[in-house]
A and B are shown apart, each in its own frame.
Chain A
C-alpha cells in the first residue's frame, strides 16, 4: 500500500531534491505553530498573573481549553453552526485574492476598498429592491447583486493595475488612497444618501428581516455550497499555479522585474489578469460578508479592518492556495468562537483573541529563522544510527551525559561572584583554613615562648610549600592556562600569605 502511495504525484513532489523546498515549507509551518503556541502560553500566563483574573486557567490550560472549544463549540450553540461556513468562505476568498497577488509580487492593499465598493452597492441595491417589491426580494435580484459585486470589485481592483501600468503610480499609494476614497463615498451614501442610517451613533444600515427568510440565499445548505465553491476555487488556483503556463507566467513575474523581456510575454496583461481575478474573488467575499453574514453595512472609522486580515491568512499559508484553506479555517474558528466563548466560558475579552492571530502572523513572517532548525532530520539520523549499531544508544547517551556534565561544570566555573569561584573554592578553602589554624595554634603561643618562635617559622615555611604545591597542581603557575580569574585568585592567595608573614615579622620586631 505504501508503495502505491509513494508513486502518486503528490507524494513524489515531497521526495528527492526537488521536493526539499516543499518539505521545508511543511516543516516550517509546524515549527511556526509550535513556537507561537509556546509564546502564547507564556503571554497568557503573565497576563492572567498581572490582571489577577480567571485564575482557573494557566496559560497552557487556557490554550488547551480554547482548542477543545474549536471543535466542541459548534455543537454547543446553534448560532455558530450557521455562521461558520459564511465566515470561512469570506476569509478563504480574501486570503486567496491576497495570495494570488503576492505570488506575482503585487502588493494588493486594496482588498479593503474593494470590499467597501461591493458592499455599498449591494446593500444600497437590496434596500432599493426591498422598497419596490414590498420586502419580497426574489432570488434573481440576489444573483444580480452578486454579479454586480464581482464586476465592480474587479473594476476597483483593475483601477490599481491601470494606475500602476500606464500612469506609473506605485500600487501601495494608489490602493491606500483608493481605500480611503471608497470609504468616504460609502460613508456619504450611508449617512446623507437615500438609505441613511437610522441613528448617527451606530452608523449602520441593516437589511429588512424578511429578505433572508424563505429565500434561496437564506438556506443553510447554500452556505455550505458556497464554501465548497470557494474550496474548489482554491483548488483551481492550485492547478493554475502547478500545471498551467499562465500560472507559471504569473509566478515568474514575481521572480524578476524584467523577466517578461526574456520569456516573451506581456507584463501588463498578466498584471491585469491577476488583479482582476483577485478583485472577482473579493467581490464574492463581499457578497458573503455583507449580504449573507452581517446583513448590514457598518460605517467605522476607516477602511474595513477585516480586509487587512487577508495578508495574515495568506502569509501563514506561504501564499499557497491549498494552505489558505487551512489557515482561513483557523482564523474563522477564532472569529466564531470569540464572541460567545470568550465572555462566557473563558472569562476573557474577545479582543484578547487578536493576540492569537497576531502571534501566528508574526511567526509566519519570520519563518526564515526556522531554516536551519532540522528536528526531523536529527531524529531520523538518531534512528538510523540506532538501527546500524546496537551500542549506539548507550554511547550516545553516555556522550550526552558527559556533555551535560561539562556544560554544568562550565556554568559553575563561569558563575563567579566578585572573582571567587564556586567549584574551585574548596581546595583553596582548605589551605586558608589550615593557615588560620596555624596562626591560632603557633603564633599566639609564640607570644610568650621564645622556643616556639623557630617552630612557628618552620611551620610557616612548610605551609607555604604546601600551598604552592596545591596551586601548581591546580595549574595556577602555568602561564599558558592563565585566565583573568585565576590571576585574581593567585593574587589574593599571595596577599593572604604575605599578610601572615608580615604579622610574624611584626611579632618578631615587637619582641
Chain B
C-alpha cells in the first residue's frame, strides 16, 4: 500500500462525506462547507490517482488542474455566500425550504 493509494482512498471518502452533507443538511452555509469539503476530496483523487510509483513529484498536469480548481472553487463559494447573505437579509431564511428560519 503506497501513500498515493492511501490518499486516493482518503479522497474518495471525503467526496462521499461532502456529498452526504450536501444531501442531509438544510442550512445553506453547511451545504457550502460540505461542497468545499467534497471538492477537496476530488483534488486528492486527481493527484493521488495520477501518481506514478517511484516518482517523488506529482504529475504537473493534474497539479495545474487542481490549482485551477481551487481558484474556481473560491470564486463560486464567494458568490454562493453572497447569495446566502442576500437571501437572509431579504427573507430571514437560511435554507431553501421556504419562509423563515430553518
A binds B: no
A interface residues, Cβ below 8 angstroms from B: none
